[in-house]
Structure 1
Amino acid sequence: MNNAQNVTIKGTKDGLTLHLDDTCSYEELKKELDRKISSSSYMQEEDKLITVKVEVGNRYLTVAQQEELKELIRQKRHLIVDEIKTNVVTKEEAEQLRQEQQIVTIARVIRSGQVVEVTGDLLLIGDVNPGGTVKASGNIFIMGTLKGIAHAGCNGNDEAVIAASVMKPSQLRISECINRAPDQSSDDDSKMECAYIANNKQIIVDRLQVLIQQRPNLTRFEGGR
């Protein structure tokens, strides 16, 4: 096998990127990596710290193997490992992704003092009364009246949105942004409204139709592009 192709080193403005072949054996890869970074011209800059990103493609690396590669790179002069990127996810990571992308449907009224929290998007068929709270790691869609608290993107997702048939909340939260009793809310109960974080990091309440432009990645719903 031609080991020369197992490791490719590319210089970027942020440091070095190491592209590691994902078809050769792990032992071959280690040996070639050691040779390549030892002889690379980038290593001649002795007084400069160099940040290294490692891309391993479709290769699965155990935690021990990742640490072994990091240590091999760290042993070379002035190299700092920033991250190891792989296309492979574990079963646990895949399950977490599945949960984050699911839509949880609940048909009930959320009364004062009740808190409903879900992983993924929440579709509530019912009202959120004053004093009630709904939370989701993703988006919140309420087919009813929102008079309580809604917190979308509660794990830090700034792209999350809140939509309700009637938007009269006591508080809106998206990620870390808070909007109490938004002044923009319409008195016309016949129009569905939505809330999202604008470029100025403020929560904006607007008509539902603007979501097509503001959040075009809502592709799980008919009409998304």
Structure 2
Amino acid sequence: MKNKQNIMIKGTKNGLSLQLNDRCSYKELLVELEEKLAELHRVDDDRPLISVSIQAGNRYLDEQQQEELKELIRQKRNLIVDHIESNVVTKAEAQQYIDEQEITSVATIVRSGQVLEVEGDLLLVGDVNPGGTVKAGGNIFIMGALRGVAHAGYTGKAESVIVASFMTPSQLRIYDCISRAPDHYDKEEHHQMECAYIDRTNQIVIDRLQVLKHLRPNITRFKGGHYNG
């Protein structure tokens, strides 16, 4: 009777999908992968570059093992690993995900020369004075005046937003986009909460707070209770 295959190779619209058996040994995977890649190489030697995704299932692959798999696949001229997916993460990765989803609430005034930085979302009850800086891996919500620098989404989240009761910043940054403060503000136009976000042209735009409901519908994390919105 033929032994169970440890690697299933399936064609997708984006290239190839390698589904790994998560119950066999890692060494067995490498042996079978080399054999199957050799067969693919003989058949598809003249084909253009093919993207490969690796589905590891409930197997945890450390960085060294991931690089070993990528290198093995890269040796075949027309194959390149696009991504590796696993259902398993380390405790450190899980904790990092929790930290990035957390909203940190701080009641203080960020004065000139001070930097307040959090990994997830920041809710600041207070002002950011000129020369002060607030940074967040996610969104920034300021229940006060923003007169200094605010940098949201610095970990790579371009969908992050900055909200302030009084939006008069010296500089706004979202992900890798930077917006300088205008030469002057009309006080009559800045008496209500406003938000800043990256628009479709990759520019930072300041707008009324009400637009967030439509632009970032997933920003709400309401759980339990009852809400008619």
TM-score under structure 2 length normalisation = 0.82
Residue type matched to 2:176 in 1? Answer: E
CA distance in 1 between counterparts of 2:228 and 2:62 reads 38
Contact preservation (8 Å) 1:146, 1:166: yes
**1:95, distance to aligned residue in structure 2 (A):** 1.8
Indicate the RMSD between aligned Cα atoms, in angstroms: 3.0
CA deviations on 1:165-186 (whole Å, 9 max, x unpaired) are 1111122111121222257977
Q: How many residues are treated as equivalent by the alignment? A: 224
What's the % identity of the aligned pairs? Answer: 60
What are structure 1's unaligned runs of at least 5 residues?
Answer: none
Residue 22 of structure 1 aligns with which residue? 22
| SS across alignment from 1:187 | helix
CA distance in 1 between counterparts of 2:164 and 2:145 reads 6
Contact preservation (8 Å) 1:119, 1:137: yes
Residue 157 of structure 1 aligns with which residue? 157
Residue 139 of structure 2 aligns with which residue? 139
Residue 219 of structure 2 aligns with which residue? 218
**1:99, distance to aligned residue in structure 2 (A):** 1.6
- Map 1:28-39; keep pairs closer than 5 Å: 28-39=28-39
CA deviations on 1:143-183 (whole Å, 9 max, x unpaired) are 11111111111233211100011111122111121222257
| SS across alignment from 1:98 | helix
Distance 1:202 1:184, change over 3 A: farther
Residue 197 of structure 2 aligns with which residue? 196
- Map 1:71-220; keep pairs closer than 5 Å: 72-74=72-74, 78-182=78-182, 187-220=188-221
CA distance in 2 between counterparts of 1:72 and 1:112 reads 53
CA distance in 2 between counterparts of 1:62 and 1:173 reads 34
Residue type matched to 1:45 in 2? Answer: D
Distance 1:181 1:221, change over 3 A: farther
**1:127, distance to aligned residue in structure 2 (A):** 0.8
Q: Return 208-217 or 13-22, whichever deviates more.
A: 13-22
Residue 44 of structure 1 aligns with which residue? 43
Residue type matched to 2:139 in 1? Answer: N
**1:87, distance to aligned residue in structure 2 (A):** 2.0
**1:34, distance to aligned residue in structure 2 (A):** 4.3
CA distance in 1 between counterparts of 2:113 and 2:89 reads 39
Distance 1:73 1:110, change over 3 A: closer
Contact preservation (8 Å) 1:184, 1:205: no
Residue type matched to 2:188 in 1? Answer: D
Residue 61 of structure 1 aligns with which residue? 61
**1:190, distance to aligned residue in structure 2 (A):** 4.2
Contact preservation (8 Å) 1:107, 1:126: yes
CA distance in 2 between counterparts of 1:213 and 1:185 reads 26
